[in-house]
């Protein structure tokens, strides 16, 4: 099997690492000898049972996991330290014969892979995931035209140009990137692979949940690019329209801060529950819910590359979504498959219109089947893994062909 190196700053002990890294690598490990380098946060690393579980999972699939410690501070120097650690490890693994291909998830790993390619000739995949510079600006973490912004954009341009294949989450991002970097992307291989979900785990419940309807929001809401005001307005309208409705925010964010942002006057009281769940418990948690709400900073350039993981998992459970315009391909998927409601703005009037649309939609007995079907067509883990396998095969085959030509 071809030795392959997968590098990411996301932790395998986080829900994202479980759903968007390990899920793919399990399937790819049947054809490739995978070494995985990830950065684990201290609070996750302290969970020794979770660490042992991931180690066992990787060992079962023949994945060689090399976890590193994630550092939050110093704020600017920490990513630089991660980059140097990545580079040292990448060069070591290439030298030891453990990497004929590097799969880099997001920008810092891609920059390291690009340097490694320059030094060793090892091809790499730039798996962008999202438009990171624009996300940082939208979240208020980066100032446009600052020296750091210029440095990140230069790295983006260079990594896009020199990657053997670019993977992005949405067709909207491809259109944007080709306009921004027409010369760098001329002739470049770009593949769209949306966020996928393990639809063997995220399935509709065997029978409809009993009890009052539960309206949920899943994932971080304090990231800076989530519209907490929109969520607050929707939950307020929902609570007024249905006094039996319950609300859940499933997040690793601080519960007190979330409640202050979403329900500052405590009008929802005990009807609103805020809690975290392990990746293993997420399917059962979602299956209990009625509708899931997600409001990102749509309309910003940053959101063109976003493909919410939660959307794939929610639809997989046969549950509709309430979302907003301008977030990757979300609105087009919702409208094409009729699996939810797109809200126009944050006003009470718009939220009330969305609520009424949602009630009409939920009256359709085919809704759950449509949600599941859309998930299978758009977000299937099997389809995503197949696309990655095809990319791996093509890059490795080209490298072997080039090597044969040089020897000839």
In this structure, what token pair is assigned to residue 195?
A: 């966020």
How far apart are alpha carbons 351 and 215 in whole angstroms? 14
Q: What is the assigned CATH class of domain 2-196+380-407?
A: alpha beta
What is the average per-residue pLDDT within 150-168?
Answer: 96
187 three-class SS = coil
Q: pLDDT, tens digit, for every residue of 90-117?
A: 999 999 999 999 999 999 999 999 999 9
What is the average per-residue pLDDT within 195-219?
Answer: 92
Q: pLDDT, tens digit, for every residue of 379-407?
A: 998 989 999 999 999 999 887 776 655 55
State the burial class of residue 242 (Cβ atoms within 10 Å of its Cβ: 0-12, 13-18, 19+).
Answer: middle
| Fold type of domain 214-378 | Rossmann fold (3.40.50)
Q: pLDDT exceeding 70 applies to what percent of the chain?
A: 97
Q: pLDDT, tens digit, for every residue of 255-269?
A: 999 999 999 999 999
pTM for the whole thing? 0.79
Contact yes or no for 163/127 (Cβ under 8 A): no
Q: Spell out the domain ranges in the chain.
A: 2-196+380-407, 214-378
How far apart are alpha carbons 192 and 304 in whole angstroms? 13
Q: Among 35-44, 148-157, 171-180, 302-311, name the one with the lowest average pLDDT.
A: 302-311
Cβ contacts of 404 within 8 Å, gap of 6 or more: none
pLDDT of residue 184: 95
Do domains 2-196+380-407 and 214-378 share one topology? The answer is yes
How far apart are alpha carbons 309 and 306 in whole angstroms? 9
199 three-class SS = coil
Sheet holding 101-105, edge to edge: 64-69, 32-40, 2-8, 101-105, 124-127, 165-168, 190-192
Contact yes or no for 126/159 (Cβ under 8 A): yes
Cβ contacts of 334 within 8 Å, gap of 6 or more: 321, 323, 340, 341, 342
How far apart are alpha carbons 291 and 225 in whole angstroms? 21
Chain centroid to Cα 302, Å, comes to 14
In this structure, what token pair is assigned to residue 38?
A: 């990830």
């Amino acid at each position: 099997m071809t030795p392959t190196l997968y590098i990411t700053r996301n932790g395998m002990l986080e829900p994202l690492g479980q759903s968007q890294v390990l899920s793919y690598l399990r399937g790819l490990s049947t054809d490739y000898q995978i070494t995985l380098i990830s950065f684990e946060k201290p609070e996750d690393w302290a969970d020794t049972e979770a660490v042992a579980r991931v180690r066992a999972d990787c060992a079962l699939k023949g994945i060689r996991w090399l976890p590193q410690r994630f550092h939050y501070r110093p704020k600017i120097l920490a990513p630089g330290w991660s980059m140097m650690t990545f580079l040292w490890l990448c060069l070591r693994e290439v030298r030891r014969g453990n990497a004929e291909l590097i799969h880099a998830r997001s920008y810092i790993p891609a920059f390291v892979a690009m340097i490694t390619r320059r030094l060793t000739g090892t091809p790499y995949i730039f798996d962008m995931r999202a438009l990171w510079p624009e996300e940082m600006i939208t979240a208020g973490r980066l100032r446009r035209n600052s020296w750091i912004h210029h440095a990140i954009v230069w790295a983006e341009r260079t990594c896009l140009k020199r990657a053997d294949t670019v993977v992005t989450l949405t067709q909207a991002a491809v259109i944007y990137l080709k306009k921004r970097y027409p010369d760098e992307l001329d002739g470049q291989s770009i593949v769209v692979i949306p966020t996928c979900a393990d639809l063997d785990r995220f399935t509709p419940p065997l029978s409809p949940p009993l009890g009052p309807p539960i309206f949920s929001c899943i994932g971080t809401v304090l990231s800076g690019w989530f519209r907490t005001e929109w969520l607050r307005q929707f939950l307020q309208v929902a609570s007024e329209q249905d006094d039996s409705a319950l609300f859940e925010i499933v997040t690793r964010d601080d519960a007190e801060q979330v409640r202050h942002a979403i329900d500052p006057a405590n009008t929802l009281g005990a009807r609103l529950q805020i809690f975290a769940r392990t990746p293993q418990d997420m399917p059962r948690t979602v299956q209990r819910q009625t509708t899931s709400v997600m409001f990102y900073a749509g309309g910003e350039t940053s959101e063109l590359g976003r493909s919410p993981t939660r959307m794939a998992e929610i639809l997989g459970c046969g549950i509709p979504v309430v979302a907003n315009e301008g977030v990757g391909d979300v609105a087009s998927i919702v409208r094409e498959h009729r699996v939810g409601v797109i809200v126009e703005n944050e006003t009470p009037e718009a939220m009330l219109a969305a609520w009424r649309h949602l009630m009409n939609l939920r009256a359709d007995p085919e809704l759950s089947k449509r949600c599941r079907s859309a998930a299978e067509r758009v977000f299937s883990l099997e389809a995503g893994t197949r696309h990655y396998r095809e990319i791996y095969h093509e890059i490795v085959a080209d490298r072997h062909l080039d090597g044969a030509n040089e020897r000839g």
